[in-house]
Amino acid sequence: MSQSFLFNIESGYLEGLVRGFKNGLLKQSDYLNLTQCETLQDLLLNIQNTDYGHILTHENEVPNVELIERRMRERIVVEYNYMRVNSSEPLSTFLDYIRYEHMIDNIALLMAGLSNRRPMRKLLPLCHPLGLFDQLEAIEVASNIDELFNSVLIDTPISKYASQHFDKMALHNTDVEIQRSIIYKSYLEDFYKFCKKLGGTTAEVMCNILGFEADRRTIVIAVNSLSTDMQPKIRESLFPTCGKLGPVVRKLLASSTDFEQVRLTVSKFVTYAGVFNNIERDTDNLITLDDRFLMLEAKMHVNSFLQQFHYGIFYSYLKLKELECRNIVWIAECISQRQNDKINAYIPIPIY
């Protein structure tokens, strides 16, 4: 009782606010209306009846998929910033951790762009707005990996995750996706330790969610690296260690040489046994392994709202909102490209 009383003093208002935000997520009936649209203009008219309201802020704006995605992401950032400004410790630090994931993605995107000699001014608009930070403005003057490290990475909160495993000389000789996986592994394990230290329901909910994320990354990396010449030792070094897959299982996945070996190893765990099975409504094989994990993740995030007095709902709400944005963009892309036969391959969110 005292724990819940203290929680309400510091974070009760924000918890109630986020639960209200969650009630504004699109229902299945809303998705049904969106999938019946024939043009992007029709899509925007239907979205106006939801919490998104008017996506277009000026009459002369021409609707397109990029604009729709940008405006929805801006809405997420506004809600996040409001929560962050009105939060106090340790919730403030918890919310900062949520941003780190997008910061890692943004830096990986810019590193890949530098490797391919793409101009920074074209890459910056592609960055996720939740992962933007002041140092990114210096990217425009970076012409190589050294300048990127010195002007950006070294001064960011995620620099500690990079420095734990390799120095900047390794950036020249390592694939960008491997670099991202190494940094993300350290981030995920650090976030897991932080949530566990918080204790209570927050530790229970978040350690379960982050453990699932660790296992998902382990399995996906194992599958995606099958067609490469990556050594088992290197592959295993990319696997986060905070999930339910123990050392023996991780070693088996790292040494797997074909898809069937990975499937048999993973099938021993009830939670993940069905991710390799065909889904009845996936008649055109549009639903990938990542999509199946997203379906499991969506259920976990919805279930986190069934408990009270914990920080997990802030993480879950933002993840559900990002998934909703992804779904709307998918539907918009199908409408724009007149691929209506693929429009139902979005990820259902079991709102209740």
pLDDT tens column, 326-352: 999 999 999 999 998 899 989 999 986
Considering only CA atoms, which of 297, 301, 326 is closest in space to residue 18? Answer: 301
Higher pLDDT, 142 or 8: 8
DSSP code string of 153-196? GGGSTTHHHHHTT--GGGGGTS-HHHHHHHHHHHHHHHHHHHHH
Q: Is residue 52 part of a domain?
A: yes
From the CA atom positions of the chain, what is the Rg in Å?
Answer: 21
Q: Is residue 19 part of a domain?
A: yes
Under a CB-based contact definition with an 8 Å cutoff, are residues 153 and 160 in contact? no
Mean pLDDT of the region 111-130: 81
> pLDDT above 90 covers what percent of the chain?
59
Mean pLDDT of the region 14-34: 94
Supply the mean pLDDT for the chain: 87
Mean pLDDT of the region 186-207: 96
What does the longest C-alpha to C-alpha distance in the chain come to?
A: 59
Six token digits for residue 109:
């995107």
Check residue 250 and give its pLDDT: 95
pLDDT tens column, 143-154: 655 666 666 677
198, burial (CB in 10 Å: exposed 0-12, middle 13-18, buried 19+) = middle
pLDDT tens column, 56-99: 777 678 889 999 999 999 999 999 999 999 999 999 999 999 99
Under a CB-based contact definition with an 8 Å cutoff, are residues 260 and 227 in contact? no
Residue type, 269: F
Judge if the upstream peptide bond of residue 90 is cis by omega within 30 degrees of 0: yes
Banded pLDDT at 180 (limits 50, 70, 90): confident
Q: How far is CA 96 from the centre of its chain?
A: 14
Secondary structure of residue 133 in the 3-state scheme? coil
Check residue 289 and give its pLDDT: 87
Check residue 1 and give its pLDDT: 41
Q: Is residue 170's pLDDT more than 50? A: no
Mean pLDDT of the region 238-267: 93
Distance separating alpha carbons of residues 23 and 220, to the nearest angstrom = 32
Check residue 19 and give its pLDDT: 95
Check residue 173 and give its pLDDT: 47
Under a CB-based contact definition with an 8 Å cutoff, are residues 205 and 308 in contact? no
Q: Is residue 91 part of a domain?
A: no
Mean pLDDT of the region 257-262: 91
Lowest mean pLDDT among 275-284, 301-310, 339-348: 275-284
Lowest mean pLDDT among 20-24, 275-279, 287-291: 275-279
State the DSSP code for 202: H
Q: Is residue 303's pLDDT more than 60? A: yes
Check residue 149 and give its pLDDT: 64
The torsion region of residue 346 among left (phi > 0), alpha (psi -120 to 50) and beta comes to: beta
Alpha helices in 175-272 (DSSP H): 176-198, 200-224, 232-237, 247-254, 259-266
Q: Rounded to two decimals, what is the model's pTM? A: 0.92
> pLDDT above 70 covers what percent of the chain?
87
Six token digits for residue 42:
């029709």
Distance separating alpha carbons of residues 286 and 280, to the nearest angstrom = 12
Q: Is residue 76 part of a domain?
A: no
Tell me how far apart the terminal alpha carbons of the chain are, to the nearest angstrom: 27
Q: Is residue 192 part of a domain?
A: no
The count of structural domains within the chain is 1
pLDDT tens column, 29-63: 999 999 999 999 999 999 988 888 888 777 678 88
User: Which residue in this structure is represented by tokens 């491997």?
Assistant: 178
Check residue 154 and give its pLDDT: 73
Q: Is residue 292's pLDDT more than 80? A: yes
Lowest mean pLDDT among 17-21, 232-236, 284-288: 284-288
Q: Is residue 265's pLDDT more than 70? A: yes
Banded pLDDT at 161 (limits 50, 70, 90): confident
Banded pLDDT at 214 (limits 50, 70, 90): very high
Banded pLDDT at 138 (limits 50, 70, 90): low
Q: Is residue 265 part of a domain?
A: no
17, burial (CB in 10 Å: exposed 0-12, middle 13-18, buried 19+) = middle
Check residue 169 and give its pLDDT: 43
Distance separating alpha carbons of residues 103 and 98, to the nearest angstrom = 9
Distance separating alpha carbons of residues 148 and 249, to the nearest angstrom = 37
Q: Is residue 254 part of a domain?
A: no
State the residue range of the domain holding 54: 1-63+289-352
